[in-house]
């Protein structure tokens, strides 16, 4: 059973999501209407996935996500009526793994949830291998990345992308291939989220993100990890 926390101040949305998930025994849903309640829930319980609204009273969802990412590794999916690119990019930059625009159907919500839960499950059971390239080391067992001995925090999505790149170092990796590896479904042409997560990765692992030595862009194709 997967425990889901929805952080949403609209009771109708909470009721709707509850209706979507009520008949599925694989999900157990708890809710919080603001950041303070969410933090209290997370202090006293653990969750497999968080559905997070952006427009929350007080601390908004984006700032709450950044705060949660200090010590929470489970997938975080933003749900919002805001669908402009700047908001989506900011949400992903702050540690979100996915983004769903309201209104959404039950099939879209459940598909996104299952994709993120599957990825988290794969990471949990993956062989405890360690991949080291230069001063960069990725530990699949502890889900940690170190650079020159210093631990670097990555979101689950960033970790998966880096794992895929390091596993296929020296190869040209198309955007669609990266997307499919992470979410196990076609991108349907929307691979913007990959660019955002790669940009975040460069800021964390490159000495100079504007002149990366590891994650190289291959124009009109994708990326290569050197």
Q: Is the pLDDT of residue 26 over 80?
A: yes
Please check whether residues 153 and 215 belong to one and the same domain.
Answer: yes
Please check whether residues 107 and 137 belong to one and the same domain.
Answer: no
CA 81 to chain CA centroid, Å, is 19
Beta strand 2-7 pairing with 27-32: parallel
Domain that holds residue 212: 127-225
Cα separation, 172 vs 218, in Å, equals 7
Per-residue pLDDT, averaged over 146-153, amounts to 89
Per-residue pLDDT, averaged over 204-214, amounts to 93
Total domain count, the chain: 2
pTM, entire model: 0.69
pLDDT band, residue 163 (cuts 50/70/90): very high
CA quadruple 58, 62, 65, 66: dihedral sign: negative
Domain end position, chosen among 96, 123, 150 = 123
Q: What percentage of the chain reaches a pLDDT higher than 70?
A: 97
Residues 6+ apart with CB under 8 A from 197: 92, 155, 157, 158, 161
Cα separation, 11 vs 32, in Å, equals 10
pLDDT band, residue 215 (cuts 50/70/90): very high
* pLDDT, tens digit (0-9, with 9 covering 90-100), for 94-146: 888 899 999 889 999 998 899 888 877 776 656 668 889 989 999 887 778 99
CATH number, domain of 92, equals 3.40.50.2300
Please check whether residues 104 and 154 belong to one and the same domain.
Answer: no
Domain end position, chosen among 90, 123, 156 = 123
Q: Is the pLDDT of residue 10 over 90?
A: yes
Residue 156: its pLDDT value, please? 84
Question: What distances in angstroms separate CA 156 from CA 41, 73, 96, 134, 136, one per listed residue?
Answer: 21, 6, 9, 22, 17
CATH number, domain of 145, equals 1.10.10.10
State both tokens at 123. 């990471």
Cα separation, 52 vs 7, in Å, equals 5
Q: What does the CA dihedral 131, 139, 112, 77 come to, rounded to 10 degrees?
A: -130
* pLDDT, tens digit (0-9, with 9 covering 90-100), for 57-74: 999 999 999 889 878 888
Please check whether residues 132 and 72 belong to one and the same domain.
Answer: no
Are the C-beta atoms of 35 and 43 separated by less than 8 Å?
A: no
Per-residue pLDDT, averaged over 195-202, amounts to 91
DSSP E strands, the chain: 2-7, 27-32, 49-53, 76-80, 98-101, 130-133, 136-139, 144-147, 150-152, 172-174, 215-218, 222-225
Per-residue pLDDT, averaged over 30-52, amounts to 94
Cα separation, 150 vs 127, in Å, equals 23
What region, left, alpha or beta, does residue 179 occupy, with left being phi > 0 and alpha being psi -120 to 50 degrees? Answer: alpha
In the predicted model, what is the mean pLDDT of the chain?
88
Domain end position, chosen among 65, 92, 123 = 123
């Amino acid at each position: 059973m997967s425990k889901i926390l929805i952080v949403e101040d609209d009771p109708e949305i909470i009721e709707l999501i509850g209706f979507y998930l009520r008949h599925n025994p694989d999900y157990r849903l708890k809710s919080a209407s603001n950041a303070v309640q969410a933090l209290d829930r997370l202090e006293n319980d653990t969750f497999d996935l968080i559905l997070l609204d952006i427009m929350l009273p007080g601390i908004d969802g984006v700032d709450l996500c950044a705060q949660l990412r200090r010590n929470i590794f489970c997938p975080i999916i933003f749900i919002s009526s805001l669908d402009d690119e700047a908001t989506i990019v900011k949400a992903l930059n702050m540690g979100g793994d996915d983004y769903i625009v309201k209104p959404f159907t039950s099939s879209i919500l459940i598909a996104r949830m299952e994709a993120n839960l599957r990825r988290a499950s794969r990471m949990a059971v993956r062989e405890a291998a360690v991949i080291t390239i230069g001063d960069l080391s990725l530990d699949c067992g502890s889900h940690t990345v170190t650079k020159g001995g210093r631990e670097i925090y990555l979101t689950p999505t960033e970790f998966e992308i880096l794992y895929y790149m390091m596993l296929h170092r020296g190869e040209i990796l198309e955007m669609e291939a990266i997307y499919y590896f992470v979410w196990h479904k076609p991108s349907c042409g929307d691979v913007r989220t990959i660019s955002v997560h790669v940009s975040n990765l460069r800021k964390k692992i490159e000495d100079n993100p504007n002149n990366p030595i590891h994650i190289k862009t291959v124009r009109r194709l994708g990326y290569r990890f050197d």
